[in-house]
Amino acid sequence: MPKLSHSFRGALRTFAFWIPNGTVGLPLLKGINYQQAITEPSVLERLFAIFANVIELDNAGNVLNAKQAELRAAQWLRCYLDSSYTVEPPFEDWETALY
């Protein structure tokens, strides 16, 4: 049975560590206390969905854009916490879809 690549597992583990550590999405989220928001399961669900939807792998399973996937998740969180923040470029439906 195929397994997720070491590269993807590392990127996912790092992303999962940065969220509760308060360091996801730096510098975009620098100085923004999002700890209360991540206690809501739907917020975590959306962060991981965006990360997983945006991340790209090559044919060998190597992650090509971990920072971009993290940034898009962080942009969503910033928008969720700050209604005056404008996400650029705007999210496409596939980026925020819950599968």
pLDDT tens readout for residues 41-91 = 999 999 999 999 999 999 999 999 999 999 999 999 999 999 999 999 999
What integer is the mean pLDDT of 5-18? 98
| pLDDT at res. 1 | 87
| pLDDT at res. 88 | 96
Report whether pLDDT(2) > 90.
no
What integer is the mean pLDDT of 22-37? 95
The whole model's pTM is what?
A: 0.95
CA torsion angle 66 70 75 80 (round to 10): 150
Query: What does the alpha-carbon distance between residue 71 and residue 65 come to, in Å, rounded to a whole number?
Result: 10
